[in-house]
Amino acid sequence: MAKGIVLITGVGMKEAKKKFKQPDPADIIDGHTPGKKAKINSPAGAAIELNKKDYIVCMSGDCDHCLEHIGKKFLKGEYHFKEADLLNKSSVKSLIDDIKRLKKEKNLPVHLVHYGGMSGVASKVSLPKETVALSPWEVPSETISSYVEANCASLLNVMQEMKEIFNEQEISKIVIISAISAIRTKRLHTLDAIQKSAIHAMARSMALDLTKEKIYITEIMPGITDTGFYDEEETFKAMQLASEEFGYKYNEDNFPVFKPERVGEAVVFAIDTNAHIRELSLMPYGQYPHLGA
């Protein structure tokens, strides 16, 4: 018997170009494009772990082929998927109408896991060296609104369309996957810190508004997750440079990562636990020990 329905936004994968080794690297899989290897992202990790725990998973992302591939590769229980543009209200309405029909059919509670990823933005804006890991002198100011919108406006669109669902339920949970850079940033992370700290502030404010409606907001802030983000050469070089200033000399053999499923386990914890978990940060073993406290 399924425990509930969970809509997960931002599910996807990225081409695998590096193979990290410490301490819990991602599984490298065949991508949906023949001949290409891939790594799944954090919301895909959430889909896997929730599906294991008897939740009906509804995956949304910007690539139907990716969603279908992830479902066939990893998910054993019931799942659904639909490509959607979360900045387009008509597209969001179509997505949530499907969720409403499923809720009526199954008579189960619905929860939301939101990830405002950068994959959709990357095709719309141009960044120097094709990386968000830039110095303040390099960040094009005109790109900031696109990255904040991808994180924050997308969440509002989905939440507002789901209001009717939430109003019908005794308890609803919204889990936002952001990043540790929202509260613990470092050099060359201006653009990344802006977008993640924006949704961090939004989550804190919304929790004050929505708790009285028995809608409970959890923000999960992962550290270095092996999703393909750090496989890009310029991004990895920037991470190495910033890390050296903290006294850590990282390479592909000792770069501390964990797989997206670790984020998924935290998502399951937040939804399953009979309590309101406001914030949860998690990092792979060995990531900047001086920040461990």
d(CA 16, CA 273): 34
- Look at residue 292 in the predicted model and tell me its pLDDT: 53
Is residue 287 a part of any domain in this protein?
no
The whole domain housing 170 covers 4-281
- Look at residue 107 in the predicted model and tell me its pLDDT: 97
d(CA 250, CA 79): 38
Is residue 290 a part of any domain in this protein?
no
Is residue 260 a part of any domain in this protein?
yes
Amino acid at 151: N
What tokens appear for 235 in the block? Answer: 């991004």
For residue 95, what is the domain's CATH number? 3.40.50.720
- Look at residue 225 in the predicted model and tell me its pLDDT: 97
pLDDT along the chain (293 residues), means of 10: 96 97 97 95 98 98 95 97 96 98 98 82 76 93 93 96 98 97 88 94 97 97 96 95 89 96 98 97 85 51
- Look at residue 290 in the predicted model and tell me its pLDDT: 64
- Look at residue 293 in the predicted model and tell me its pLDDT: 43
Is residue 154 a part of any domain in this protein?
yes
Number of C-beta neighbours around residue 97 at 10 A: 11
Is residue 288 a part of any domain in this protein?
no
What's the 3-state SS for the chain?
Answer: CCCEEEEECCCCEEECCCCCCEEECCCCEECCCCCCEEEECHHHHHHHHHHHCCEEEEEEECCHHHHHHHHHHHCCCCEEEEECCCCCHHHHHHHHHHHHHHHHHHCCCEEEEECCCCHHHHCCCCCHHHCCCCCCCCCCHHHHHHHHHHHHHHHHHHHHHCHHHHHCCCCEEEEEECCHHHCCCCCCCHHHHHHHHHHHHHHHHHHHHHHHHCEEEEEEEECCECCCHHHCHHHHHHHHHHHHCCCCCCCCCCCEEECHHHHHHHHHHHHHCCCCCCEEEECCCCCCHHHCC
Residue 82 exposed, middle or buried by CB count within 10 Å (0-12, 13-18, 19+): middle
Q: What is the tally of structural domains in the chain?
A: 1
Number of residues in the chain? 293
Amino acid at 44: A
Number of C-beta neighbours around residue 222 at 10 A: 23
Number of C-beta neighbours around residue 23 at 10 A: 13
Is residue 47 a part of any domain in this protein?
yes
Is residue 291 a part of any domain in this protein?
no
> Which residue shows structure tokens 């939004």?
202
Write down the pTM of the prediction.
0.96
Is residue 292 a part of any domain in this protein?
no
**8 A C-beta contact, residue 279 and residue 289:** no
